[in-house]
Amino acid sequence: MSRVESGARSGDRQAAMHLAPVSRETAERFSVYVDLLARWNKVTNLVSKATFGAVWSRHIADSAQIKLAAPTAIRWIDIGSGAGLPGLVLAMQLADVPGALVHCIERDQRKCAFLREVARATGSPAIVHPVPVQAVDPVRLGPVDAVTARAFAPISTTLHLAKVWLERGAVGVFPCGRSSQEQLRSVNYAVPYAIDILPSVVDAEAAILRVRLN
């Protein structure tokens, strides 16, 4: 990495931590994650190279803010974890919380290997499930406080897949970027969803949907 690139990354890190403040220990875990992401991204398509220059604000802070929508939740499910955004970020935030656990559901075996490596390197409470979400038995997973997914599928599809946990009392926290209003029009309101639209702290034009079943 050149000196210019290093300086830009440092500035992006500072901006991200201002947007979504975390403890020093959590910030250190994030740094380990970003270093591993940079290394693995050279051979495995984890995040877009076009966004990696702003990885801290575009990905880390954007994922870290999800916890603000369900601050008491300590047992999470991340549908379609991909590079661990937001599942691993949440696990790193919860690493010092007794009983915390994040289930990262990801069918791509290469991405699962990355998820396991980051969880090990950061000491984060994450379990990786290398299967499609439809193959997960919610009873065997045990109690879940919150379910999330980021850049996974349209909200109508995501809600359909998350419904099994919403029915058990979990809250859904789903970042929708700048298309929240458009995506909400596709929701099947025959299902009694209660949806709050929360502003993103990273992008003033983006939103996060917080969903419960009435």
83 vs 62: CA distance, rounded Å: 14
Tell me what percent of the residues of the chain surpass a pLDDT of 90. 79
81-106 residue pLDDT tens: 999 999 999 999 999 999 999 999 99
155 vs 153: CA distance, rounded Å: 6
Class of domain 3-213: alpha beta
Q: What is the pTM of this model?
A: 0.92
Question: What's the pLDDT at 6?
Answer: 52
Element (DSSP H or E) covering residue 177: strand 171-177
The whole-chain average pLDDT of the chain stands at 92
43-83 residue pLDDT tens: 988 998 888 889 999 999 999 999 999 999 999 999 999 99
Residue scoring higher pLDDT (8 or 134): 134
CB count, 10 Å around CB of 210?
18
145-195 residue pLDDT tens: 999 999 898 899 999 999 999 999 999 999 987 877 787 888 877 789 999
Is the model's pLDDT at 1 over the cut of 60? no
Q: Which residues, at least 6 apart from 181, have a Cβ–Cβ distance to it below 8 Å?
A: none
What confidence tier does 7 reach under pLDDT thresholds 50, 70, 90? Answer: very low
